Amino acid sequence: MLATWVLVLAIQGQGADTTPPFVYQAENTGKGFAPPAMPDVQQLPVQRSLPDALAWSNGQGRVTTFDQWAQRRNEIAHMIQHYAIGTKPTVPADAVKAHMDGDTLLVNVTVGGESLQLRSTIHYPKTGNAPYALMIGTSMISLPRQLFEDRPIAIMTFHEKQVNDYTQWGSHHERGEHPFDRLYPDLTENGAYSMWTWGVSRLIDGLQQLGSEVTKIDTQHIGVSGCSYAGKMALYCGAFDERVALTIAQEPGGGGAAAWRTSYELADTVETLDRTDYHWFKESLREQFGGDNVYRLPYDQHQLCAMVCPRALLLLGNPDYKWLADASMLVSAQAAQQVWHTFGIANRFGYSIVGGHGHCQLPPSQYPEVEAFIDRFLLGKEVDTSHVQIVEPRPQSLSE
């Protein structure tokens, strides 16, 4: 039986001295708060430095206690959906029907008379006892299998094409033609990351609905991980679903953890807001915030990272691949970490930017930090994660 030290609490009503929980039972604890105003780009001020993640959207002060974080997190979520990726729809519980076919989880979602089915096989560990922690691979898990072989952690893959069948290679459908669009024809401006995030949440719905007796999964210990464009996907999924206890975003690049503002100021070899795949984002993001208008964006990607707080986040980089803009990710990571630090839980956030290996090929030198986060936040072990702030080697572009 996994350790039961994870506290599942509602943010509302917590005292300032209460230790923030490690995970929640709800997809979004802040959905009851009214959204902030969303000005047009011409009405937004120029902000050349990263916007303060803890500052209220109305400009009236900052978050000072953890009690207030649910509302501020909700403000950030609304900004990212409105300006960048599109709406992640909420789904009523009775619209989701799940069952197991052997070791395969099947989740049927019905909205407006249209249905979509998600299928993912759960690969159970050969060690430990059920219910097991679970790592969901967005598209796939590129982390080395040996990190999981001897641990009581189940693995499953979120097959993103079941929701949005866009691919970077070969034929694909366009906006308005994806499976998601049949359910939500009024959201055809959405980028893929809102759709894929929605899909992972429906898998978690199914796991919760069936319960551990059926699935053998402990839904208080769910992680998500992916690399490259799927590293972005994992980050968005962890940010937008508070039932995810651990997010590991591996080499996510621009539009993931790298700050758009900082990337714009780097050499033209990095992924910027002007140069990324716009099947992933709303076209209006580039139209409104391209070029110098990036400084009018009312948020930046450090705030996407901060949405994971108070849960655990580990960012993995590879400075050998300039396109990933890891110098920008470092700036973003250090800004985001201040949110965890403010609430006295800085050791729930870490980053490891290490070169000398192929893209999405984690080297053995990075295993210890990944293992520490897996052991602590999926298995409940007493492991020190306060030291995971690593940049090796430090190229000139990554100098602080």
Maximal C-alpha separation, the chain? 57
Task: Give yes or no for a contact between 23 and 29, defined as CB atoms under 8 angstroms apart.
Answer: no
Residue among 228, 328, 332, 352 flagged as catalytic: 228
Q: List strand residue ranges (DSSP E) for the chain, in order.
A: 96-101, 104-111, 114-121, 132-138, 153-158, 217-227, 246-250, 312-317, 349-354, 389-392
Residues 348-364: b if buried by 16+ CB within 10 A, e if exposed: bbbbbbbbeeeebebee
**Residue 102 — left, alpha, or beta (φ > 0 → left; ψ -120 to 50 → alpha)?**
left
Task: Give yes or no for a contact between 71 and 299, defined as CB atoms under 8 angstroms apart.
Answer: no
Whole-angstrom CA distances from 296 to 56, 72, 261 are: 16, 19, 10
Residues 82, 71: Cα–Cα separation, whole Å: 16
What are residue 321's phi and psi, to 5 degrees? -110, 95
* Residue 359 annotated to the active site: yes
Residues 400, 153: Cα–Cα separation, whole Å: 37
Whole-angstrom CA distances from 28 to 185, 238, 304 are: 23, 11, 14
Catalytic residues: 228, 359
